[in-house]
Structure 1
Amino acid sequence: MARVGFIHDKLDIKFLVLYIMSRVVAPIDLPTLADLTMCDEGVDYFAFATAVHELVSTEHLLLEDDRYSITDKGRKNGAICESSLPYSIRVKCDKNVAKLNGRLRRDAQVRSDMTPREDGTFTLTLSLDDEHGNLLTIALLTASEQQCDRLSEQFKAHPEQIYNGVLDVLLTDYDGKEP
């Protein structure tokens, strides 16, 4: 049976992986990289996995804490070869990477960190940044790990509302009037 798609061999897959990795804004895990790479029907998962492994062993990609990032060598060699990828594949990849980058940037700007305390409680530190730096950091005492998880989820789901709520309270006079 003939294979459909533009990407057919391991070298094409390596070019595609380097193209993608040169455009992501933060290290990504293998399933995310696989999702991005499977944008063409010709990509075989096992050939993809082998290609990624080889890119790590040749130091085109770096694997740390189960996340992949591109090296300078990978960026340089990928740039030389990216024009060999079909235009339609590059457009599809760019669209998918743009969506991912939005999520990665948001995840980098909205953070939480849980620290256990000696008395069995936890300190939950919530941080919100923008492109200029830190906007808000709050440290909360919590009774349990479950409470930390719930507060963290809510903060990550609604950081702008929480930030605006804090500002609203701080900028409102004690009698309910704005100064």
Structure 2
Amino acid sequence: MAPTKWSRSGSAAPHEAAQRDEEQRLRELGYQPVLARRMGHFGNFAISFSVISVLSGCMTLYGFGLGTGGPAVMLWGWIGVGLFVLFVGLALAEVTSAYPTSGALYYMADRLGGRKWGWYTGWLNLLGLLGAIAGIDYGAALFTGAVLNLQWGFDPTPESTMLIFVAILLVHATLNLFGVRLVSV
């Protein structure tokens, strides 16, 4: 565990007290706390910002949304979906704060709805994650093909776009295989 940071008054910093409370709650739930906090604030922010995928996700799909739905659908869709996502996020944050475990989403579904709901939650979350990663990486492949075309006259055919897509997926897999330290860099 990292050394305790002390405030000017000589007591432990508030986040240290919160961490001790979380560890106590885990012990009450029957877990031995073993989370190694190896990522700093900037690395955590960088990972979170990367998951949002502003350039490779939003920007590549923006034209698709405007072309198929139009501006009104894009505006009201973003507002409506954004509100629903906010409500779901708030509900999950509230329940997850009561179960501060790794994989809290599955654990709380198991505790609140039974083993079957925990299993469904895990698989649906995995499928959603795989779909999101595939969509974002494909958008990044289209973007990469366009940049290569502008810079060097590369013709982004469907076959070459698929090869770029596979290369991006392989880079992601490699980064994730080598642990948190490499990913946080």
State if a TM-score over 0.5 links the two structures. no
By relative contact order (CA 8 Å, sep 6+), the higher-ranking structure is 2
Name the structure with the higher helix share: 2
Name the structure with the higher strand share: 1
TM-score (norm 2): 0.29
